[in-house]
Amino acid sequence: MASKAIIIAAGMGNRMGELTDDKPKCLLPLNGKPLINIQIDCLKAAGVQDIFVIRGYQADKLKLPGVQFFMNPDYENNNILESLFYAKEEIHGDVVILYCDIIFNTSVVEKLLASKEDVSVVVDENWKANYVGRKLHPISEAESAFYDEKGFVQEIGKNVRSLKKEDAPGEFIGMLKLTARGSDLFKKSYEQSKITYADRPFQQAPSLKKAYLTDLFQEMVDNSIPVHCVKIQNGWKELDTQEDFNNAKKSFKDMIL
């Protein structure tokens, strides 16, 4: 079981408009509690006690007791994958990694922690329901996941190469777990990618610096490193836009356990 988690919270949250003019997205409140505090409560309820946060935009506003921080000074120019590796020293042993703009049931974390695979990603098989009536974050932006009958990823990302996005059986929700071996494989894949893709596009991204986590997952799969899906049905929400945030305020009490 992973005893620590890394939350990637460096981004500017531009799609939240004026809501993030004076604070990072992860500090937006639902029922009076900041998003990141909701995440931390759920992680700790599942047994994850050591929390690390990567901050960037308005870093001085993000102060949490009992939490250790890393700084991404280049948050305006890089993306999620690059941001994560500012906390490289904590990517070892068993570790949960997640986006800062998702809320989820404790049961989602518990199911992820139960996985014995080296690299496990959470995918929602009821993902299309999350896009009904969702205008500001269209289905085209879903991080689609295709996997075989044993749950191992074949293709993953916003722009899958050979399969029809609308046929995807799942969507990556922005949460994964690495074992000690998985952490080593993950870091080695990243370091090798820095060499191989130094001056050219990386998977679906224009460069490694602009890559998503799913780009590295796909690189690992292409190099025969198994990436396993932990399948869920609902139990989480993404808060990427003002519309998402307003919808989450309406459903929050019913969703969080």
Place 152 in a pLDDT band, splitting at 50, 70 and 90. Answer: very high
Region 128-142: mean pLDDT is: 87
| Average pLDDT value for residue range 95-121 | 97
For the domain made up of 4-255, the CATH class stated in words is alpha beta
Closest by CA position to 109, among listed 51, 180, 22: 51
**Residue boundaries of the structural domains of the chain:** 4-255
Q: Could you give the CA distance from residue 149 to residue 206 in angstroms, rounded to a whole number?
A: 31
Q: Which helix (H) or strand (E) is 218 found in, with range? A: helix 213-222
**Rounded to an integer, what is the distance from CA 257 to the centroid of its chain?**
20
**Residue closest to 38 by CA, chosen among 53, 54, 27:** 27
**Total number of residues shown for the chain:** 257
Per-residue pLDDT at 256 exceeds 80: no
Q: How far is Cα 14 from Cα 175, in angstroms, rounded to an integer?
A: 21
> What tens digit of pLDDT does each residue of 41-51 get?
999 999 999 99
Check residue 255 and give its pLDDT.
Answer: 55
Mean pLDDT of 90-112: 97
Model pLDDT for residues 201-248, shown as the tens digit of each residue: 999 999 999 999 999 999 999 999 999 999 999 999 999 999 998 888
Of the CA atoms within 13 Å of residue 135, those in its CB half-sphere come to 3
For residue 257, pLDDT over 50 is answered with no
